[in-house]
Amino acid sequence: MKETVYFGPCTPPSPLHHYTFTLIATTHGVKDLPPGLTREEFFEKSAGKLLTATGLIALWKKK
Indicate the number of domains in the chain.
1
On the question of pLDDT at 47 being above 90, the answer is yes
Q: Which domain holds residue 41?
A: 1-63
> Which amino acid is residue 41, in one-letter code?
E
Give mean pLDDT, residues 48-59: 95
Query: Alpha-carbon distance 25 to 30, whole Å?
Result: 12
Q: Name residues whose C-beta falls within 8 Å of residue 21's C-beta, 6 or more positions apart in sequence.
A: 55, 56, 57, 58
pLDDT (tens digit per residue) in 16-43: 888 899 999 999 998 999 998 999 999 9
Which residue blocks in the chain are alpha helix, DSSP H? Answer: 39-45
On the question of pLDDT at 48 being above 90, the answer is yes
39 membership: H or E segment, kind and range? helix 39-45
